[in-house]
Amino acid sequence: MQSWIGGCEQLKGTGRLPQVEVITFLGYMKAVESRLLQRLSAGGHLLRNLIRRRTPREPVSPDPLKSSPPFTREDRTLPKGACRQETGREEESKPSRLPIVFIHYGNSDYLQHSLRQVKRTNPHSPLYLLGDESNDCYEEVIHHPFADYAQEAEAFSRIYKHYNTTPFHYELFNFQRWFILQEFLHHNYLERCLYLDSDTLFYADASKEQKRFAPFDFTLSKKTSGCTFFLNRREALNNFCRFLTGIYTRRDRYAYDRMVAHFALRQKHRLEGGVCDMTAFGLYGELYFGHIGEVALINDGSIYDPNINTPDPGFAMHDGIKKVIWKQGYPYGIHLKTGQEIRFNSLQFQGRAKRLMPHFLQEPYA
């Protein structure tokens, strides 16, 4: 600290006082990095525990973030017919249709709604759930244990540094899912897919919509979120995973320092949050401008909602969420600048809005 103070004193009267802020901030970054690295020694790794404890006849360990006991088949409160029969579980649909993939641990109440909705508008697309023992129960879903595709995700857990105020396991898994998806696609010879976050309700024909984004490697929402992730080239996902590994092994020290600085700046201003996979997608997009499609823009009268809790990009709100009107069985929003009714191809229910998902399921239109 004395060296920083001394350096600041020498700069007085030289017209270079802005450098004082730089020196002070660099010192603050170092302090944050050192303090958080010490914290990591007490942290465990979700996937490592799952893989170590799992044997062919043993269930996967329950979600460590949930305080309630794991579900059993007797205490699940799912709709009639939600838990499918064991026979015919690997029955594939038409291979020409775009595969749809979810990755989720635990059997959260809202998971059934996202699966049901996407199947309603994509009845012929293969629907994959990479999950665990607790959510291996849904009809018309091809279930795979994500632990079977966790080799690279487990390797990433050994280099991960946690720069966020969210729980360690939660943020780690947000990164690891991209390695899991990459490995799953590789082992199942899939080049393209639509990946959806589990709190997304999807109302469009994924195979038709994919053609809209065909020129791009993959899509993001607001340049950072993979909540609606049309992947058109598997190698692009491989490249992103290599980018993540390069950051956390510090081979790309500049990108790593930008990640740490992002968290340090939020800490300095007493803001929650920090570094997540969205931060990394933002940095990656700077390197591959023009290769990544954007779903959260109005395109031909429709849009993929980035977050129902906000008006972005310019929609009317009602009771704290986007105002949604239904026309011929599809959700629409009112774009304030133009007054036009814009169709929502998806709605994204972040945070507490997840509890609203049952009220936004698409009903058959007569």
Of 37 and 132, the one with more pLDDT: 132
Please say if the pLDDT value at position 60 is more than 70.
no
Task: Identify whether residues 223 and 288 lie together within a single domain.
Answer: yes
Name the pLDDT band for 27 (thresholds 50, 70, 90). confident
pLDDT of residue 364: 58
The overall average pLDDT reported for the chain is 83
DSSP one-letter string for 145-177: EGGGG-HHHHHHHTT----BSS-HHHHHHHHHH
Residue 266 lies in a domain: yes
pLDDT of residue 39: 58
Residue type at 158 in one-letter notation: R
pLDDT of residue 30: 72
* Whole-angstrom distance, CA of residue 28 vs CA of residue 342: 46
Residue 8 lies in a domain: no
Q: What's the mean pLDDT in 174-180? A: 98
Strands 193-196 vs 228-231: parallel, antiparallel or unpaired? antiparallel
Task: Identify whether residues 288 and 194 lie together within a single domain.
Answer: yes
pLDDT of residue 299: 95
Name the pLDDT band for 10 (thresholds 50, 70, 90). very low
Residue 356 lies in a domain: yes
Backbone angles phi, psi at 204, to 5 degrees: -110, 175
As a whole-number percent, the residues of the chain with pLDDT over 70 amount to: 74
Non-local CB neighbours of 111 within 8 Å, separated by 6+ positions:
102, 104, 135, 198
Task: Identify whether residues 252 and 321 lie together within a single domain.
Answer: no
Taking Cα atoms as reference points, which of 126, 175, 167, 115 lies closest to residue 150? 175
Non-local CB neighbours of 191 within 8 Å, separated by 6+ positions:
185, 233, 234
Q: How many CA atoms lie within 13 A of 35 on its CB side?
A: 12
Task: Identify whether residues 311 and 214 lie together within a single domain.
Answer: no
Please say if the pLDDT value at position 48 is more than 70.
no
Cis peptide before 64 (omega within 30 of 0): no
Please say if the pLDDT value at position 356 is more than 90.
yes
Residue span of the structural domain in which 326 resides: 300-366
Please say if the pLDDT value at position 365 is more than 50.
no
Task: Identify whether residues 275 and 355 lie together within a single domain.
Answer: no
pLDDT of residue 153: 98
Non-local CB neighbours of 171 within 8 Å, separated by 6+ positions:
162, 164, 275, 276
Domain finish residue from 280, 295, 310: 295
pLDDT of residue 57: 34
Task: Identify whether residues 269 and 165 lie together within a single domain.
Answer: yes
Q: What is the dihedral of CA 350, 351, 357, 362, to 10 degrees?
A: -10
Task: Identify whether residues 200 and 94 lie together within a single domain.
Answer: yes
Task: Identify whether residues 164 and 285 lie together within a single domain.
Answer: yes
- Output DSSP code: residue 225: B
* Whole-angstrom distance, CA of residue 45 vs CA of residue 162: 12
pLDDT of residue 40: 52
Please say if the pLDDT value at position 85 is more than 60.
no
**Per-residue pLDDT tens over the stretch 235-248:** 999 999 999 999 99
Taking Cα atoms as reference points, which of 225, 226, 257 lies closest to residue 161? 257
As a whole-number percent, the residues of the chain with pLDDT over 90 amount to: 72
Which residues is 332 bridged to in the sheet? 325, 343
> Is 65:50 a contact under the CB 8 Å cutoff?
no
pLDDT of residue 35: 64
pLDDT of residue 3: 40
Residue 103 lies in a domain: yes
Residue 1 lies in a domain: no
Angle between helix axes 18-40 and 253-268 (nearest 10 degrees) is: 100
Q: What's the mean pLDDT in 326-341? A: 96
Domain finish residue from 265, 295, 325: 295
Domain count for the chain, please give it.
2
* Whole-angstrom distance, CA of residue 32 vs CA of residue 36: 6
Please say if the pLDDT value at position 261 is more than 60.
yes
Please say if the pLDDT value at position 12 is more than 50.
no
Residue 4 lies in a domain: no
Name the pLDDT band for 92 (thresholds 50, 70, 90). very low
- 213-217's contacts with Cβ under 8 Å and 24+ in sequence apart are 213/293, 213/295, 215/293, 216/291, 216/292, 216/293, 217/288, 217/291, 217/292
Residue 317 lies in a domain: yes
Task: Identify whether residues 260 and 325 lie together within a single domain.
Answer: no
Of 107 and 45, the one with more pLDDT: 107
Q: Which helix (H) or strand (E) holds 314?
A: none
Domain finish residue from 266, 295, 324: 295
Three-point CA angle 199, 62, 240, nearest 5°: 50
- Output DSSP code: residue 98: P
Of 44 and 25, the one with more pLDDT: 25
Question: Where do runs of H (alpha helix) occur along the chain?
Answer: 2-11, 18-40, 46-53, 111-121, 151-157, 168-187, 206-212, 234-248, 253-268, 277-287
What's the chain's length in residues? 366
Task: Identify whether residues 129 and 202 lie together within a single domain.
Answer: yes
Please say if the pLDDT value at position 38 is more than 80.
no
Task: Identify whether residues 214 and 340 lie together within a single domain.
Answer: no
Task: Identify whether residues 199 and 110 lie together within a single domain.
Answer: yes
Please say if the pLDDT value at position 221 is more than 70.
yes
Please say if the pLDDT value at position 67 is more than 70.
no
* Whole-angstrom distance, CA of residue 116 vs CA of residue 100: 12
Which of 10-14, 213-217, 260-264 reaches the highest mean pLDDT?
Answer: 213-217
pLDDT of residue 148: 97
Of 20 and 255, the one with more pLDDT: 255
pLDDT of residue 64: 33
Residue 359 lies in a domain: yes
pLDDT of residue 41: 46
